[in-house]
Amino acid sequence: MRTFPSESGPRDGIACSVSGTGSAFPDHPFTCTVHSVFYRALNLRVAGSPWLCSVVASPSKAHPLAAVTGGDTDFLSWGLVAGTRGVFTGSCLGFQDSPSSPCMDFSSARPTPAERMPGISLRDTALQASFRRSETLLEAFQSKAGTGLCYSALSGNKPATNPFEKFFLPAAAALAQATVTATTTARATKETGSTIESAVRLLRPLIGLGEGLTPTGDDFVTGYLAALRARVAADGAGNKERDPGITDLVEALGAAILLLETPQSKSVLSATNDISAAFLACAAKGLFSSALVSFAQALAWSTTQSTKQHWTDYGRLDSALEAVCSLGHSSGMDVVSGFLFGLRT
């Protein structure tokens, strides 16, 4: 019988090797229990942490709280169930309660790609063609998938067509209006307190709204926060002279999401599930999935390229958008909807 992994091994029982870890994945020894198991993903409840960590089997699914293994990893074959105990030694993650006792080798793991938003602002006229192309492609993907939320309805190009949109669109519009009010008030008076409080209050109805492991409302909010972070980055390390109020707003929204439950107040994240809460917690800290960041980087890159005469090669942008939109049944598309909606707000 194979012994439980120690700090130095063993090497004969490694089920897979981890190639990379997100910036929020613990780099210190910890104990954990299995929260949930899927074909290409394993979610862990780490002792002492309010957020779930994950192990995923594809770089396309990398996010700040995840470790990434090889693409042939099938977590369902490991015999893990909810509650199975695990220990991470710093170089190996093993599960002593599983019949197969699998363990993962972290000795060669490297940090995953950038998780923060590049600077993007619709004030940049060179962005317009790439932005419109992204909108059109997103709408095509959503139409093919039959998603409950359509960007064309969010952007006002068509009316709500289902009960979910009829509830969702006014909530999203109210958050957008509060964002606009916060920034315009800041420009006029340099005071943002009450308008930011309004935006924080309007964020709550979207959290947990919809079905799935990551509800549509949560994915939308993740993308929306990414857009605000991109606008802050475009202003240059939080320079409030160009877009006053945005920095304060995104920090207040993030703080509201991260506020844990107390006897006196209910957490914003109590309205959603553990898996989705982890993604929202990362977004609140300005950390996003590799797929979303890659799309944002491609959008920013295409903007610089489009200034060149006769440039029409959108291959990188199209590929990056398709990659993020392919995540989940509709999750990736819902995130991009929030991102593009936030950029144009």
Query: CA 44, CA 176: separation in Å to the nearest integer?
Result: 34
In sequence order, what are the beta bridge partners of 110?
Answer: 20
One-letter amino acid identity for 147? Answer: T
**Structure tokens of 249?**
């707003």
Query: Do residues 334 and 151 touch, judged by C-beta distance below 8 A?
Result: no
CA-angle at 147, arms to 143 and 149, nearest 5°: 105
Question: pLDDT (tens digit, 0 to 9) for every residue of the chain, 345 residues total?
Answer: 333 344 444 344 568 899 999 999 998 999 999 999 999 999 999 999 999 999 999 999 999 999 999 778 899 988 899 999 999 999 999 997 766 678 899 999 998 877 899 999 887 777 888 999 999 999 999 999 999 999 999 999 999 999 999 999 999 999 999 888 877 765 544 555 566 778 888 888 999 999 888 999 999 999 999 999 999 998 764 444 456 678 888 888 998 898 865 565 678 899 999 999 999 999 999 999 999 999 999 998 876 665 554 456 789 999 999 999 999 999 999 999 999 999 998
Question: Which pLDDT does position 329 carry in this prediction?
Answer: 92
Map residue 251 onto helix, strand or coil: helix
**Structure tokens of 303?**
């903007």
Q: What is the pTM of this model?
A: 0.90
Query: CA 87, CA 32: separation in Å to the nearest integer?
Result: 6
**Structure tokens of 141?**
């993907």
Category of 9 on φ-ψ map: left (φ > 0), alpha (ψ -120 to 50) or beta: left
CA-angle at 8, arms to 4 and 10, nearest 5°: 45
First to last CA, the chain: 60
Q: Looking at 38-128, which runs of residues are DSSP E strands?
A: 41-46, 52-56, 66-69, 85-88, 92-95, 103-105, 110-111
Query: Do residues 257 and 280 touch, judged by C-beta distance below 8 A?
Result: yes
Instruction: Decide if domain 14-111 falls under CATH 1.10.8.
Output: no
Query: CA 25, CA 40: separation in Å to the nearest integer?
Result: 18
Long-range residue pairs from 246-253, CB within 8 A, at least 24 positions apart, any chain: 246/182, 246/183, 248/182, 248/186, 248/192, 248/196, 249/179, 249/182, 249/183, 249/192, 249/196, 249/199, 250/225, 250/286, 252/196, 252/197, 252/199, 252/200, 253/199, 253/200, 253/203, 253/225, 253/228, 253/284
Query: Do residues 205 and 171 touch, judged by C-beta distance below 8 A?
Result: yes
Cα within 13 Å of Cα(147), Cβ side: 32
Question: Which pLDDT does position 264 carry in this prediction?
Answer: 58
Which H helix or E strand runs over 20?
Answer: strand 14-21
Residue ranges of the chain that CATH labels 2.40.50: 14-111
Model confidence pLDDT, tens digit, residues 109-126 = 998 877 899 999 887 777
